[in-house]
Amino acid sequence: MNNLSGLGDIVIPGLFIALLRRFDQRVGDMQFIEKALGAAPKDKQKGPATQPKKTFRIYFYITVFAYMAGLFITMAVMHHFKRAQPALLYLVPVCLFVPLMFSVCRGEFSALWNYSEDHLVEKDDESSKKKKV
């Protein structure tokens, strides 16, 4: 029995996983900045200044493991039924629901759902306008 994974079985979840990596990085950086600004002393404190720690972001890693679990489920179903199965039938729900449910548990669902990369597009527009002038 041959197992053929199509390009879409790798690219579509891979794009989503890459987006979650960028979400982790962006939200982690934002939390670091907020903690740094919040940790700035308004009045002079005695002792050494403490640097805020960067929080560990985990959505990327959880979704990679969910992708691996989805591939395992696909192979198990293929082996059980001895028929080819569309891998995205198992990969998409696993790769979507695991990080969404995790975000609900962490109270970050709104941040994950509303995440966009418009801040990157605006910088590109400004830099292209400066180059034209």
Which of 2-11, 55-64, 99-108 has the largest mean confidence? 99-108
Rounded to whole angstroms, how far apart are CA atoms 62 and 112? 14
Residue 129: how many CB atoms within 10 A of its CB? 9
Q: Which of 43-52, 59-68, 103-112 has the lowest mean pLDDT?
A: 43-52
Helix (H) or strand (E) holding 28: helix 7-39
Q: What is the mean pLDDT of residues 117-123?
A: 73
| Residue 15 pLDDT > 80 | yes
% of residues, the chain, pLDDT over 90:
28
Q: What is the mean pLDDT of residues 30-57?
A: 58
Residues 6+ apart with CB under 8 A from 38: 52
Helix (H) or strand (E) holding 105: helix 88-106
The token pair at 111 is 């941040």
What was the pLDDT predicted at 20? 93
Rounded to whole angstroms, how far apart are CA atoms 78 and 111? 37
| Residue 101's pLDDT band (cuts 50, 70, 90) | very high
| Residue 127 pLDDT > 70 | no
Q: Which of 19-23, 24-28, 117-121 has the lowest mean pLDDT?
A: 117-121
